[in-house]
Amino acid sequence: MNLKNCEIIHLRRIEDGNDGTISVAEEHRDIPFKTKRVYYIYDLDNASALRGKHAHKELEQVIFCMHGSYTLGLDDGTNQMDIRVEDPSMGVYLGPELWHTMYDFSDDCVLMVMASDYYNESDYIRNYDEFKNYLKNQK
């Protein structure tokens, strides 16, 4: 992966035969930060749904697709990448200063996001041109 502040995280899968599979996410082992917030995104039954469309100044997140599938579009200001996500044991770490969009959701898609801090609107960059200017000013 050639994007700044982004990596794939593979959780351990514990196969328990007929009793299912367990995946475990532990702070500072699998998740590279202390988790202060967890939220879910679901009922994405509109084929044209588009989520994200922003970056964060400081927040770190890991996003998991718990059920179904979706496409995650990523942009670090220099490189862009799309990732099709459909494995509940695979998360994508989204560090600060990473523009992201989520789209092409399956009807049954459920996303879970673990975040490093509480909701803070002032941490969001919601305009792509402002995002590019923000990155220029960070150098």
In this model, does residue 71 exceed pLDDT 70?
yes
Domains of the chain, first to last: 6-138 (2.60.120.10)
Secondary structure (3-state) at 132: helix
Catalytic residue, from 54, 56, 67, 100: name it. 54
How confident is the model at residue 45, as a pLDDT?
Answer: 75
CA distance 57 to 122: 9
| Residue 1: band (very low, low, confident or very high) from pLDDT cuts 50, 70, 90 | low
Active site residue 10: no
More reliable by pLDDT, 45 or 51: 51
User: Residue written as tokens 């898609």?
Assistant: 109
pTM: 0.90
Query: Which residues sit opposite 99 in a β-bridge?
Result: 75
Q: Taking residues 47-56, report their average pLDDT.
A: 91
